[in-house]
Amino acid sequence: MVFTDNDSANASEIYKAQMHVNKYLLGFQSCMAVKFATEVGIADAIHRHGKPITLSDLASALNLPPSKVGVLHRFMRLLTHNGFFTKTPSQNSEEEETYSLTLASKFLVRSNSFCLADNVEVAFHPSMFNMWNSSKKLFTEDTQVPLFESVTGESYFDFIKNDFHFLDVFQKAVAADSEMIKLGLQECKHVFEGLASLVDVGGGTGAVSRLILESFPHMKCTVLDLPQVVANLKTAQNLSFVGGDMFESIPSADAVLLKWVLHNWDDELSIKILKNCKEAISGKGKEGKVIIIDVVIDEASDDRDLTELKLNFDLAMLTFFNGKEREKKEWEKLIYQAGFTSCNFSPLFGFKSLIEVYP
């Protein structure tokens, strides 16, 4: 038996290892509980209640019959343990315990400006489960084709394009992530100072550009994205939308922003995008810049949870797009191979960093 002969581990360490494995066997249920909570609107119901809520009031706010209060309790217990709610014990036998929102579950309240409810729908879309059930293909098939495409027969962006509801949810999810940029933008205003124009490449519905314009109303911002994404978007003062293909050409500007774009693509295609960015800022000479907002894996400095999140994003990028999250030295290699001469890294946006890239 492998644990006794050559292993110096004692019984308690072996039991701990067994628990570690079991944690990952059942861990998907913690994730599914978040999906369930979002679908039935638990956070919304507590928010609407306006004060800590008892389980029976929560059940009736969710229109659940009394027979389901026990099931709800089981979900609330796990979700509370996982930091999504807090529980205040009852003061006496007449009173029921009550549940309140935490900072994490406030992200699931649909009326909040920082809301990740659409991200939950994207993350748990059935296509994701189908893809993972075929993950063996990653090792048995031509890796030039992303796993998602190999399973569904179409690229992720085509898949999104062909499902009107999902396109809408996906764009809202990405825009929700961009809302979070607001918190970090104050600390990096200097990055945008002195720029008269900016192209937000793969800028979706323009959420980041709108935020930048709040601080720099005189800057001319152009959002370049796929034609179907920008088709019905209205231009506003100093904000315009261009339907196109970043692999073909990028409109000229003082700076190009690439937020959450390069991680969708492998090195070869990312270099192609970066070279087109370099061309787009060439009119500004050495003062032009490319601003990348993306994940930088840093196992040495980041804590365990942060690294786990970044590595999970990496597998998501691998399976959906053949893309990748990159370490600092991988970013540098990519940037220099595209012909740029220098870059600065600032970890500003939670799990994302800002990289300024100069010709």
Ligand X SMILES: C[S@@+](CC[C@H](N)C(=O)[O-])C[C@H]1O[C@@H](n2cnc3c(N)ncnc32)[C@H](O)[C@@H]1O
Provide the pairing of β-strand 255-259 with 197-201.
parallel
Q: How far is the CB of 141 from ligand X (least distance, A)?
A: 23
Q: How far is the CB of 197 from ligand X (least distance, A)?
A: 17
Give bridge partners of residue 167 from the DSSP assignment: none
202 part of the interface to ligand X, by CB under 6 A: yes
List phi, psi (to 5°) of 251.
-60, 150
* Half-sphere exposure for 11 (CA within 13 Å, toward CB): 0
From residue 257 to residue 286, the character string flagging contacts with ligand X as x (rule: CB under 6 A) and all else as - is --xxx--x----------------------
Site residues (CB under 6 A) for ligand X, limited to 127-186? 157, 174-175, 177-178
245 part of the interface to ligand X, by CB under 6 A: yes
Binding ligand X (rule: CB under 6 A), the pick from 120, 131, 208, 271 is 208
Out of 165, 190, 218, 263, which one is annotated catalytic?
263
Cβ pair 79, 124 in contact under 8 A: no
Closest-by-Cβ residue to ligand X is 202
Those residues whose C-beta lies under 8 Å from the C-beta of residue 72, and which sit 6 or more positions away, are: 55, 58, 59, 62, 64
Q: Which is nearer to ligand X, 208 or 271 (CB)?
A: 208
- The full DSSP string for 177-194 is HHHTHHHHHGGGHHHHTT
Cβ pair 36, 28 in contact under 8 A: no
230 part of the interface to ligand X, by CB under 6 A: no
225 part of the interface to ligand X, by CB under 6 A: yes
Total residues found in the chain within this entry: 359
164-179 and 207-215 are packed helices; what angle lies between their axes, rounded to 10 degrees? 30
Using the rule CB under 6 A, give the single segment among 148-156, 222-230, 280-288, 300-308 that binds ligand X.
222-230
Q: Reading across the β-sheet that carries 255-259, which strands appear in turn?
A: 239-243, 220-225, 197-201, 255-259, 289-294, 352-358, 342-349
CA–CA separation, 306 and 297 (whole Å): 9
Q: How far is the CB of 230 from ligand X (least distance, A)?
A: 9
Binding ligand X (rule: CB under 6 A), the pick from 108, 224, 256, 280 is 224
207 part of the interface to ligand X, by CB under 6 A: yes
Q: Which is nearer to ligand X, 251 or 347 (CB)?
A: 251
Binding ligand X (rule: CB under 6 A), the pick from 33, 47, 147, 204 is 204
263 is annotated as an active-site residue: yes
Binding ligand X (rule: CB under 6 A), the pick from 203, 288, 323, 359 is 203
Residue that the structure tokens 């009736």 belong to: 60
Annotated active-site positions, please?
Answer: 263
- Applying CB under 6 A, the residues found at the interface with ligand X are 157, 174-175, 177-178, 202-204, 207-208, 224-226, 229, 245-247, 259-261, 264
